[in-house]
Structure 1
């Protein structure tokens, strides 16, 4: 399982995406070779972030979609989930959570 760093801020976002993109592509190849359909990304260590963290996650989800996989973000901080809700992208990152809240 890939892990987000502890800090994702705007000033570091481009560099972080370059690193994450390469890791995601390698992980996607491994997941597909094992006949998997979900790429897991651990966000539990994320303690300092701004909206650029959402941008990274959305880019990761797009990359996974292009690879025929679904991105699963594990243990996202509550504040990150709230930020995603405020920006209107929570259903793109956690569709199952949004559906269970609606029920």
Structure 2
């Protein structure tokens, strides 16, 4: 679901409702103090659950002393973030 690659956490599973809990937990487990970049370049499917997972990772990062950034967010997820008014909450790498 999430692989550590080139200093980034590369999301390899679809960011959809069926995978949301597993991705949330995998991302939380992978957090380390310092800057953490979640890379979505391998994500080929995403729905509104992606926003919830990303916000969950941000909350978990605060507790872990990490600073999360997101790279290669799928266009559909960006559109949903704009629709929900949460674009400013999603720091980009």
Tell me which residue corresponds to 2:23: 16
Of residues 5, 9, 33, the one that matches 1:2 is 9
Question: Where in structure 1 do 4 or more consecutive aligned residues deviate above 2 Å?
Answer: none
What TM-score do you get using the length of structure 1 for normalisation?
Answer: 0.72
- Aligned partners of 1:75 and 1:12: how far apart in 2? 19
* CA shift for structure 1 position 12: 1.9
TM-score, structure 2 as length reference? 0.78
Structure 1 gap ranges (5+): 97-103
Distance 2:38 2:52 in 1: 14
Q: Secondary structure at the match of 2:42?
A: coil
Unaligned runs of 5+ in 2: 1-7
Q: Which protein has the bigger strand share?
A: 2
* Higher helix proportion (structure 1 or 2): 1
RMSD value, Cα: 1.9
CA distance in 1, matches of 2:71, 2:39: 5
Query: Which has the larger Rg?
Result: 1
> What does 1:1-103 align with in structure 2 at a 5 Å threshold?
1-24=8-31, 28=32, 32=33, 37-94=34-91
